[in-house]
C-alpha cells in the first residue's frame, strides 16, 4: 500500500525487522545498542525482562512526576479541609475542636487525595511520556507489524537516525539475525 | 505486567532445582493464548451465556424498578426506622464494597509480592471489583433519603453555603470509596490497553476495530513505551495496596468511632479488612470456576490458582474467626456492662441470634475444610464453601449493624427491624446488575490479561535456553 504514490524524496520511516524469539530479539537489541543507533525501538507483546539494559535505557522519570502529583494531592486536601473547617465554616459537632488540633481528623482525606492525584499522574504521565493516544502511525501500515500484539518480536530502526542508510542498515539487521526485514514508508 | 525480579527459568525451578508446577499447562504457545482468550470475545457466545444474561438483565430491571418505586413513593417503603436506621441498605453497602477488595488484593498486593500466578485471574478480579463497588455505591446514595441531594456529599458548599463536616467518618467514607473506584478503574484500564491493542490488531477494519483502537490509544508495544508503562503499573500497585487497606478501615470507622456498644472497638479496621478479602476471594472463585469451564480456560486458570485462593480463604477466614472470638473475649474481659450485654444479646438472648450462628458457621467453620488438599482440589467442595462464605459475609454485616442498633443503652428505645419486600428486591436486583456487568465484560473484553500471561511463559525469559541454566 506504500509503494506507488510515495516515490517522492520523502525518507522512509525505517526498517521493521522481525525476530524468531524473545532470546533472539534480546541479543539483537544489544548489538543495535552497541552499533550506536539512537532512534530505534523493540516491539513485543509483553515487556521483556532486562530489555531496558539491553537497549541502554535508564530508569523511567515517571516516579518523579508521580511524587509531585501525590504531593499536590496531599496539599490540596490539607488546604481544602483546613480552610473550610477552621476559617470558612467551622462545624462544631461531636465535641471536636475547630482549630489546629483538628488536623488529625484530616488525615484520612489527605491520604485518599494523595492516592487519587498520584493515580491520575500515573495515567496521564504514561500517556504524556509515550505520546499516546496516537491512533495513526507509519508502523500500522505494515501488514506484518500487527503481530507484535500476538507473538511477533520486532526491532524498528528509524530513518531519522543519523546512522541510518537504506542498504547498510538492512544488511546489519539481517546480520544480527532478523528473520525478515521490511522497509516502512512514512505515509503520514 | 512487568516481569518480576525472578526470571521465568528460576521461577520454574524451586530453590533446589525442583520443577515447579508451570503456570500455563500443556506448553501452550503465545499464539494459542491469544487465540483462546480473544476467541472468547470474537466467537459467538455459548447458549449458557444467554441463559445467564437474560435473568440477570431481568433482575437488574427489578433493581431499577425498586429504586424508582422508592423515590416516587417515599422512604417509608424501606423497613428501616429508629432505632435501626441503617438496616439492609448499609449491610448491603458494606457487603458489596468488601467483595471488591479481593480484586485489588490480587492485582496490587500479589503483584508487589511477585506472585506470578496472579496473571491469569487479575483482570477478571479487577472487573469484579469495579462492578461490586458500583453495586455498593447505590445503597448509601439512596439511603440518604432525598437522593437528588446526594451531591451534598461532594466537597462543595451546599445550597445554604454550608460546607461538609470533614471530621466525620461518613465523609471520609465518601472520599475513600470514590477514590477507590477511580483508582481501580485506572488500574484496570491501564492493564487493558495492550490487550485492547491485541483485539484491535485481530479485527477486520470497521466500527469494532475503530472502537477497540480508540481505547487502545494506538498502543504499539515499543520497549520505550513499556519502560514507562511498567513503572506506572508498579506505582499503581504500590498506591493501591495502602488504598485497599484504607478503604475498609475507613468503612469500619463509620462504626468504630461511634460510642455504640458492639461497635466501639479498636479491632474493627483489621477485622473488616480481613473479612473483605475473605469475602472477595470467595466471590472471585464463585465467578471464575464456572467461567473457566464455560470458555475452556483450564490451561490458564489451573488447579494451582484455585488451590492458592482456597488457602487465602482459609487464612483470612481464620483471621475473621479470631476477631469474632476476640470480640467476645473483650466483651467479657473488658468489664463494660453495656458491651457485655450487647454481646450477650448477640449470641444468646437477642432476637437475631440465628443470624450470628449462621455467620459463625459460614465464615469460621466451613472454610476449615480447606486444610485438606482433596477439598481444595474438588471444585464442588470449593464452590460450596464459597457460597457459604458469600452468605456468611452478608450475615456478618447484618449482625454488626442490626443486632447492635436494635438494642443499645436504654431498653425503652429498643426495637425490632424487619426488611420489607422492597429492600429484599433491591438487594436481589444488585446481584442481577453485578452479574449482568460481569457477563458483558466477558463478552466484550479479554477476560485474562493476554500480554501478562505470555510474560510468564518460560520462553519469555530472554535467557531461556542459555547454557548456564
Question: Which domain, by its residues, includes A68?
Answer: 62-129
Taking CA atoms, what residue in A is nearest to B237? A119
Q: What is the mean pLDDT of chain B?
A: 87
B75, B186, B237, B442 from B190: Cα distances, Å = 40, 6, 11, 18
B168 φ, ψ (degrees, to nearest 5): -90, 135
Does the structure show a pLDDT above 50 at B128?
Answer: yes
**Between residues 31 and 50 of chain B, which touch chain A (CB distance below 8 Å)?**
31, 34
Q: Which of B295, B422, B317 is nearest to B369 (CA)?
A: B317
CB atoms inside a 10 Å sphere around CB B124: 26
Interface contact flag, B463 A23, Cβ < 8 Å: yes
Q: What is the pLDDT of residue B368?
A: 95
The stretch A47-70 carries a mean pLDDT of: 89
The residue among B124, B139, B147, B128 whose CA lies nearest residue B94 is: B139
What is the DSSP track for chain A?
--TTTT-SSPPP-EEEEEESSHHHHHHHHHHHHHTT--SEEEE-SSPPTTHHHHHT----THHHHHHHHHHHHHHHHHHHHHIIIIII-----TT--SSGGGGGGGHHHHHHHHHHHHHHHHHHHHHHHTT------GGGG-TTGGGGGTT-EEEEEETTSTT--TTHHHHHHHHTT-SEEEEE----
> Does position B6 have pLDDT exceeding 50, yes or no?
no
Residue at A157 is within a domain: yes
Q: Which one is predicted more confidently, B313 or A137?
A: B313
Q: What is the SS3 assignment for B222?
A: strand
Residues of chain B contacting residue A132, judged by C-beta atoms under 8 Å apart: 217-219, 225
Q: How confident is the model at residue B11 (pLDDT cuts 50, 70, 90)?
A: very low
Q: Which of B3, B155, B186 sits opposite A80 (nearest CB)?
A: B155
* Same-domain status, A77 and A124: yes
Distance between CA atoms of residues B354 and B347, nearest Å: 8
pLDDT digit string, tens, across residues B151-178? 888 888 888 888 888 888 999 999 999 9
Q: In chain B, how many H helices and how many E strands?
A: 18, 0
Per the structure block, which three cell numbers stand in for B444?
466484550
- What are the Cα distances from residue B233, in Å, to A74, B95, B220, B225, B350? 21, 28, 17, 12, 49
The fraction of chain A above a pLDDT of 90, given in percent, is: 23
- What is the DSSP secondary structure assignment for residue B364, as one 8-state letter? I
* Structural domain includes residue A107: yes
Does residue A51 lie within any of the structural domains? no
CA A46 to chain CA centroid, nearest Å: 13
Q: How many CB atoms lie within 10 A of CB B333?
A: 10
Q: How confident is the model at residue B12 (pLDDT cuts 50, 70, 90)?
A: very low
C-alpha B299/C-alpha B461 separation (Å) is: 20
Tens of pLDDT, residues B291-309? 888 887 888 888 888 999 9
Q: Over 70: is that where the pLDDT of B420 sits?
A: yes
pLDDT on residue B329: 94
Q: What region, left, alpha or beta, does residue B43 occupy, with left being phi > 0 and alpha being psi -120 to 50 degrees?
A: beta
CA distance A1 to B67: 56
Dist. CA A53–CA A29, nearest whole Å: 10
Q: Tell me: the pLDDT tens digits for B85-109?
A: 898 999 999 999 999 888 888 888 8
Chain B residue closest in CA terms to A114: B239
CB–CB contact B194 A146 (8 Å): no
pLDDT for B18: 53
Q: What is the C-alpha to C-alpha distance for residues B356 and B111, in angstroms, rounded to an integer?
A: 36
Interface of A with B in 75-134 (CB under 8 A): 80-81, 84-85, 88-89, 91, 93-94, 96, 102, 105-106, 108-109, 111-113, 115-116, 118-120, 122-123, 125-127, 129-130, 132-134
Please list, in sequence order, all residues whose beta carbon lies within 8 angstroms of the beta carbon of residue B462, skipping any fewer than 6 positions away: A22, A23, A25, A26, A27, A48, A49, A50, A51, A54
Put simply, whether B294 touches A (Cβ < 8 Å) is no
Show the cell assigned to A144.
506484518
Q: Is A49 left (phi over 0), alpha (psi -120 to 50) or beta?
A: beta
Residues 369-428 of B with CB under 8 A from A: none
Task: Tell me whether residues A150 and B201 touch, CB distance under 8 A.
Answer: yes
The model's confidence at residue B66, banded by pLDDT at 50, 70 and 90, is: very high
Q: What is the pLDDT of residue A162?
A: 82
Q: Which residue in A66, A84, A150 has the most chain B C-beta atoms within 10 A of its own C-beta, making it the best mutation to test that interface?
A: A150
Examine the pLDDT at B3 and tell me if it is beyond 80: no
Q: Report the share of chain B in percent with pLDDT over 70.
A: 94
Residues A68, A31 share a domain: no
Query: Are B250 and A108 inside 8 Å of each other by CB?
Result: yes
Cα distance from B247 to chain A (closest Cα, Å)?
9
- Most confidently predicted of A85-94, B53-62, B439-448: B53-62
pTM of the entire structure?
A: 0.89
Residue of A nearest to B216 (CA): A133
Q: DSSP letters of B244-298?
A: HHHHHHHHHHHHHTS--TTT--TTHHHHHHHHHHHHHHHHHHHHHHHHHHHHT-T
- Residues 6 or more apart whose CB falls under 8 angstroms from that of A75 comprise none
- Measured between beta carbons, the chain A residues lying within 8 angstroms of B250 are 108
* Model confidence band, residue A4 (pLDDT cutoffs 50, 70, 90): very low
Cα distance from B162 to chain A (closest Cα, Å)? Answer: 7
Tell me what the mean pLDDT of segment B189-194 comes to.
92
How many domains is chain A built from? 2
Q: Are A44 and A25 in contact (CB under 8 A)?
A: yes
Q: What nine digits make up the cell of A176? A: 544480527
Look at residue B137 and tell me whether its pLDDT is greater than 50: yes
Q: Which chain B positions have a beta carbon within 8 Å of A147's beta carbon? A: 201
What is the band of B1 on the pLDDT scale with cuts at 50, 70, 90? very low
pLDDT at B4: 42
A145 belongs to a structural domain = no
Per-residue pLDDT for B16 more than 70?
no
Question: Closest Cα of chain A to B460: distance in Å?
Answer: 6
**Kind of pairing between the strands at A14-19 and A153-158:** antiparallel
Distance from CA of B223 to the nearest CA of A (A): 5
Report how far residue B142's alpha carbon sits from residue B144's, in angstroms, rounded to the nearest whole number: 5
- Which of A89-93, A108-112, B442-446 shows the lowest per-residue confidence on average (mean pLDDT)? A89-93
| B294 in Cβ contact with B48 (< 8 Å) | yes
Domain annotation covers residue A139: no
How many CA atoms within 13 Å lie on the side-chain side of B176? 28
Taking CB atoms and an 8 Å limit, are B179 and A115 in contact across chains? yes
**Cβ contacts of A19 on chain B, cutoff 8 Å:** none
Residues from chain B contacting residue A137 (CB–CB below 8 Å): 218, 220
Phi, psi of B81, rounded to the nearest 5 degrees? -160, 180
**β-sheet bridge partners, residue A15:** A157, A183
CA–CA min distance B3, chain A (Å) = 6
| Size of chain B in residues | 469
pLDDT at A119 over 80: yes
- A133, closest residue in chain B (CA to CA): B217
The DSSP string of A84-111 is IIIII-----TT--SSGGGGGGGHHHHH
State how far the alpha carbon of B115 is from the alpha carbons of B2, B17, B123, B240, in Å: 12, 18, 15, 16
Q: Which residues of B touch A151 (CB under 8 A)?
A: 29-31, 34, 454
Q: Could you write out the DSSP letters of every residue in B164-194?
A: P-TTSHHHHHHHHHHHHHHHHHHHHHHHHHH
* Rounded distance between C-alpha atoms, residue B103 and residue A6, angstroms: 50
Closest CA to B452 of B106, B105, B41, B15: B106
Cβ atoms < 10 Å from Cβ of B369: 18
**Residue A28: which CATH number?**
3.30.70
Instruction: For residue range B321-343, list pLDDT tens digits in order.
Output: 999 999 999 999 988 899 999 89
Share of chain A above pLDDT 70, in %: 95
B24 touches chain A (CB under 8 A): no
Q: Is the CB of B242 inside 8 Å of chain A's CB atoms?
A: yes
Q: Which of A177-181, B71-75, B375-379 has the lowest mean pLDDT?
A: A177-181
> Looking at this predicted complex, what is its ipTM?
0.89
Which chain A residue lies closest to B165 (C-alpha atoms)?
A91
List of residues 6+ apart from B312 with CB closer than 8 A: B277, B281
Spatial CB neighbours of B86, under 8 Å, sequence gap ≥ 6: B80, B143, B401, B402, B405
Write down the pLDDT at residue B19.
Answer: 59
Amino acid at each position: 500500500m506504500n509503494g506507488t504514490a510515495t516515490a517522492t524524496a520523502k525518507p522512509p520511516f525505517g526498517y521493521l525487522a522481525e525476530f524468531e524469539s524473545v532470546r533472539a530479539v534480546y541479543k539483537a537489541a544489544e548489538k543495535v545498542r552497541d552499533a550506536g543507533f539512537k532512534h530505534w525501538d523493540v516491539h513485543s507483546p509483553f515487556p521483556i525482562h532486562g530489555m531496558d539494559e539491553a537497549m541502554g535505557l535508564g530508569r523511567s522519570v515517571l516516579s518523579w512526576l508521580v511524587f509531585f502529583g501525590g504531593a499536590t494531592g496531599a496539599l490540596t486536601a490539607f488546604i481544602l479541609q483546613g480552610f473550610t473547617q477552621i476559617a470558612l465554616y467551622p462545624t462544631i459537632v461531636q465535641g471536636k475542636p475547630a482549630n489546629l488540633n483538628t488536623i488529625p481528623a484530616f488525615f484520612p482525606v489527605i491520604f485518599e487525595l494523595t492516592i487519587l492525584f498520584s493515580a491520575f499522574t500515573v495515567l496521564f504521565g504514561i500517556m504524556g511520556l509515550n505520546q499516546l493516544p496516537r491512533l495513526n502511525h507509519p508502523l500500522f501500515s505494515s501488514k506484518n507489524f500487527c503481530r507484535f500484539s500476538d507473538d511477533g518480536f520486532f526491532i524498528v530502526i528509524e530513518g531519522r537516525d543519523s546512522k541510518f542508510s537504506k542498504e547498510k542498515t538492512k544488511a546489519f539487521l539481517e546480520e544480527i539475525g532478523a528473520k525478515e526485514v521490511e522497509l516502512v514508508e512514512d505515509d503520514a | 505486567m512487568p516481569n518480576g525480579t525472578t526470571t521465568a527459568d528460576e521461577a520454574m525451578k524451586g530453590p533446589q532445582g525442583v520443577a515447579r508446577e508451570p503456570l500455563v499447562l500443556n506448553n501452550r504457545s503465545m499464539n494459542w493464548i491469544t487465540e483462546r482468550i480473544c476467541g472468547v470475545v470474537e466467537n459467538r457466545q455459548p447458549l449458557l451465556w444467554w441463559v445467564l444474561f437474560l435473568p440477570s438483565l431481568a433482575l437488574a430491571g427489578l433493581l431499577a424498578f425498586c429504586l424508582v418505586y422508592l423515590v416516587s413513593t417515599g422512604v417509608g417503603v424501606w423497613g428501616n426506622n429508629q432505632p435501626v436506621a441503617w438496616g439492609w441498605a448499609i449491610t448491603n453497602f458494606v457487603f458489596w464494597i468488601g467483595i471488591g477488595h479481593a480484586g485489588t488484593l490480587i492485582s496490587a498486593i500479589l503483584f508487589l509480592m511477585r506472585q506470578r500466578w496472579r496473571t491469569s485471574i487479575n483482570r477478571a478480579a479487577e472487573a469484579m471489583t469495579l462492578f461490586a463497588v458500583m453495586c455498593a455505591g447505590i445503597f448509601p446514595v439512596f439511603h440518604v433519603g432525598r437522593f437528588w441531594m446526594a451531591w451534598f456529599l461532594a466537597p462543595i458548599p451546599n445550597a445554604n453555603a454550608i460546607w461538609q463536616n470533614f471530621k466525620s467518618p461518613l465523609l471520609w467514607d465518601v472520599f475513600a470509596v470514590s477514590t477507590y473506584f477511580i483508582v481501580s478503574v485506572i488500574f484496570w484500564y491501564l492493564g487493558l490497553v495492550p490487550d485492547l491493542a491485541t483485539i484491535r490488531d485481530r479485527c477486520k477494519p470497521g466500527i469494532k476495530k475503530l472502537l477497540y483502537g480508540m481505547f487502545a490509544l494506538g498502543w504499539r508495544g515499543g520497549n520505550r513505551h513499556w519502560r514507562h508503562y511498567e513503572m506506572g503499573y508498579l506505582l499503581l500497585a504500590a498506591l493501591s495496596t495502602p488504598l485497599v487497606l484504607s478503604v475498609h478501615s475507613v468503612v469500619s470507622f463509620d462504626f468504630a468511632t461511634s460510642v455504640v456498644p458492639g461497635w466501639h472497638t479498636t479491632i474493627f479496621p483489621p477485622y473488616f479488612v480481613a473479612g473483605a478479602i475473605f469475602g472477595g476471594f470467595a466471590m472471585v472463585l464463585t465467578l471464575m470456576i464456572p467461567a473457566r469451564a464455560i470458555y475452556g480456560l483450564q490451561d490458564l486458570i489451573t488447579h494451582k490458582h484455585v488451590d492458592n485462593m482456597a488457602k487465602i480463604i482459609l487464612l483470612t477466614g481464620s483471621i475473621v474467626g479470631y476477631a469474632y472470638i476476640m470480640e467476645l473475649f473483650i466483651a467479657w474481659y473488658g468489664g463494660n456492662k453495656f458491651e457485655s450485654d450487647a454481646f450477650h444479646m448477640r449470641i444468646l438472648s437477642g432476637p437475631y441470634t440465628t443470624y450470628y450462628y449462621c455467620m459463625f458457621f459460614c465464615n469460621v467453620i466451613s472454610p476449615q475444610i480447606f486444610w485438606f488438599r482433596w477439598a481444595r482440589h474438588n471444585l464442588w467442595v470449593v464452590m460450596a464453601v464459597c457460597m457459604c462464605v458469600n452468605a456468611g459475609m452478608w450475615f456478618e454485616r447484618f449482625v454488626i449493624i442490626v443486632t447492635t442498633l436494635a438494642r443499645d443503652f436504654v431498653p425503652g428505645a429498643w426495637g425490632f427491624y424487619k426488611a420489607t419486600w422492597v429492600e429484599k428486591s433491591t438487594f436481589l436486583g444488585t446481584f442481577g446488575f453485578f452479574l449482568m456487568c460481569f457477563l458483558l465484560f466477558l463478552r466484550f473484553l479479554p477476560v485474562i490479561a493476554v500480554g501478562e500471561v505470555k510474560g510468564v511463559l518460560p520462553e519469555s525469559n530472554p535467557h531461556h535456553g542459555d547454557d548456564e541454566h
